[in-house]
Amino acid sequence: MANTSGLATFNLDLSELIEEAYERAGLELRSGYDMRTARRSLNLLTIEWANRGINLWTIEQGQITINTGQAIYALPNDTIDLLDHVIRTGTDQNQVDINISRISESTYSTIPTKNANGRPIQVWINRQSGQTNASSVTLNGTITATDTTITLSSTVGLSTTGFIKIDSEVIIYQNVSGNQLLNCFRGQAYTTAAAHTTGAAVSIQNLPNINVWPTGDGGGPYTFVYWRLRRMQDAGSGVNVQDIPFRFITCLVAGLAFMIAAKKPEVAPERVLFLKSEYEQQWLLASQEDRDKASDRYVPRQLFY
């Protein structure tokens, strides 16, 4: 019997990955700047992969408790999009998952009764950047952890509905009147509601979010259960491995080699074209393997008037 290693753990840390990519480009990794520019290219490459389609290893399940009267709920900051979603009622043996239809912004905007109560049947997914914008706005007056009306020094620059962050707490407000934020729901985006003192800094949160209709009622409890596509983690500092499965290592090296060669004037154009072709071939092989292998299932949707 062959004496094999008994291991299946091969991977490349960031330094080894960049070194291999430089060698494929016919170059040598010589300076700290070479490492830094390669790390930047690697982060851009993983963003490109997110635009190429669904990466199965970045699919995660999550859930949000639906509150009566609350229409907007934050999604995790690194969410790219939602793939599937249901409204769940009951628990344990009485759990039932019910379809909730995804609609566009234009369809949601034409709903005349956005604050109507009931079991949610439609959802608009608002794919915001997730970035935090600093502002000169501060809290005007102390608030407790349960206050739903918040007074600010100014509301200039704030949208009529949105998220703010005070200290470590994220808050959703649904109306603005003068310098007051009304109909606030506290402790959003997995933060904890807390008391805050006057003068606390207020930042604007551009969080990806869902808008459900109707907004929930006492017939629940309702839970919005979703499967999301998240961003791949950043390249890191050098000793860590990348946020990819082993079957994409060769593709990642090929893509990085092409991006490095494209930036180096000493690399012959013919070699750049070869590296691009090799990268596309490796992407094709990896992406064909990274797919859901279940049979397609088509369910007709019936509408009744």
What's the confidence (pLDDT) of residue 300?
59
pLDDT of 216 strictly over 80: yes
pLDDT of 302 strictly over 70: no
Do residues 197 and 211 touch, judged by C-beta distance below 8 A? Answer: no
What's the confidence (pLDDT) of residue 144?
97
How many Cα atoms sit within 13 Å of 282 on the Cβ side?
A: 20
Q: Which residue has the tokens 């500092």?
A: 237
What's the confidence (pLDDT) of residue 138?
95
Angle between helix 269-289 and helix 249-263 axes, rounded to 10 deg = 160
Report residue 85 as tokens. Answer: 């979603």
pLDDT, tens digit (0-9, with 9 covering 90-100), for 34-70 = 999 999 999 999 999 999 988 999 999 999 999 999 9
Q: Give backbone dihedrals phi and psi of 121, rounded to 5 degrees, phi first.
A: -125, -10
Chain mean position to CA 279:
26
What's the confidence (pLDDT) of residue 35?
94
Mean pLDDT, residues 72-76: 95
β-partners of residue 150 are 181
pLDDT, tens digit (0-9, with 9 covering 90-100), for 186-213 = 999 999 999 999 999 999 999 999 999 9
Residue type, 118: G
pLDDT, tens digit (0-9, with 9 covering 90-100), for 229-286 = 999 999 987 778 999 999 999 999 999 999 999 999 999 999 999 999 999 999 999 9
The model's confidence at residue 301, banded by pLDDT at 50, 70 and 90, is low
Distance in angstroms (rounded) separating the CA atoms of residues 27 and 154: 56
What's the confidence (pLDDT) of residue 53?
87
Average pLDDT, the chain: 92
Task: Kindly write down the DSSP assignment for every residue of 38-85, as one continuous string.
Answer: HHHHHHHHHHHHHHHS--GGGEEEEEEEPPTT--EEEPPTTEEEEEEE
What's the confidence (pLDDT) of residue 305?
47
**Which contacts of 176-184 are long-range, i.e. CB under 8 A and separated by 24 or more positions?**
179/140, 179/151, 179/152, 179/153, 179/154, 179/155, 180/149, 180/150, 180/151, 180/152, 180/155, 181/149, 181/150, 181/151, 181/152, 181/155, 182/148, 182/149, 183/69, 183/148, 184/147, 184/148, 184/149, 184/150
Identify which of 177, 210, 172 has the alpha carbon closest to the alpha carbon of residue 191: 172
What percent of the chain has pLDDT above 90? 84
Mean pLDDT, residues 15-33: 95
